[in-house]
Chains A and B, each alone.
Chain A
Amino acid sequence: MKKIFGRTPSLTDAPTHYCGGCGHGIVHRVLCEVIDELGLRESTVGIAPVGCAVLGYDYWNFDVSEAAHGRTPAVATGMKRARPDLTVFSYQGDGDLAAIGTAEIIHAANRGERITVIFVNNTVYGMTGGQMAPTTLVGQKTLTSPHGRKFEEFGEPIRVVELLSQFRGTAYAARTSVHNPVEVIKTKKAIKKAFQAQVDGIGFSIVEILSQCPTYWGMTPVQSVEYVRDELVKYFPLGTFKDETGAKASAV
């Protein structure tokens, strides 16, 4: 019997603190599998956000930093510009990226920083108790939109990768999900392309990953992945919004 699937070296052996069924654990795994498959572990620096993934440094078996809320793209910029030989990724949640860190993410993309952003969109602030986030759906109930988010009051959810794919500096922008194994495989492919865009020095890369949050959606894990499939994907369409990895890679 040959082992054909197991934990990849870039994942530490630490058990995670994530709620059962949460998408973060899946994203961590495929991210680390990509880093190992591209042979980048020993030259990678990851940045954990303020949010559920703030403990990333316990789970990632390579150099990690942890930045102020929303500032990871700026920290990543400083790192990559200072040491272009390093592979730098910024792991962020929807509050971190699309609320307090909006300026940082837009300008990092517009400058075409050769960094990779892993953007986990679960439509709520998980770490702090399930508040409404910039990506909370209209009508979705959260700790701070108890009667459902109303457009007239708090606007519509922000579609981040569509926004960022308009910049010339953005080399790769895709949205995927982890609500079933097929989508997890697509997420891994997208993350690999994003890292390839960085390694080839083409430009800014981001993968937005829809992620189930059973706890703060008030659902079982199985219900939460079905909610992603049936509701979330309608508002946040999956797919690749920009991909210059092929073109420029040959030019480089």
Chain B
Amino acid sequence: MAKDAVKHDKIAVDRERCKGCGLCVLACDRKILAMSKKLNKKGLHYVEWNDLTNCKSCTLCAIICPEAVIEIYKES
């Protein structure tokens, strides 16, 4: 994963390459994701989350991401 990636147990996002389009937020039917108030180096809001307990690693957010910067992990 890229150096700027922030990884929680189930999801990793390269925040510097997120363009803040919000499509992942829309796609997540469990409403886990949200656009951060903070900006990345490009001055764009990036996706963030606070509680991943409801996340089932369904990959919908990664599938819709136009920048392909979301990685999904699952307990094996």
Task: Point out residues on A near B: beta carbons under 8 Å.
Answer: 1-7, 11, 13, 15-16, 18-26, 28-29, 178, 180-181, 184-185, 214, 220-222, 225
Contact = CB atoms under 8 A, between A and B. Distances in A.
A53 to B, nearest CB: 13
18 contacts: A2-B73, A4-B59, A5-B62, A6-B1, A13-B2, A16-B66, A20-B19, A26-B65, A26-B66, A178-B64, A180-B26, A181-B63, A184-B63, A220-B22, A221-B22, A221-B23, A222-B26, A225-B23
Contacts of A180: 26-27, 64
B74 interface: yes
A21 B68 CA distance: 11
Interface of B is mostly: loop
Contacts of B67: 15-16, 25
A21 B21 contact: yes
A251 to B, nearest CB: 34
B10 to A, nearest CB: 7
Interface of A is mostly: mixed
Interface string B15-29: 001011111001100
A82 B47 CA distance: 47
A44 B67 CA distance: 22
A21 B22 contact: yes
A24 B65 CA distance: 11
Contacts of A19: 19
Nearest to B7: A1
Contacts of B21: 20-21, 214, 221-222
A221 B27 CA distance: 12
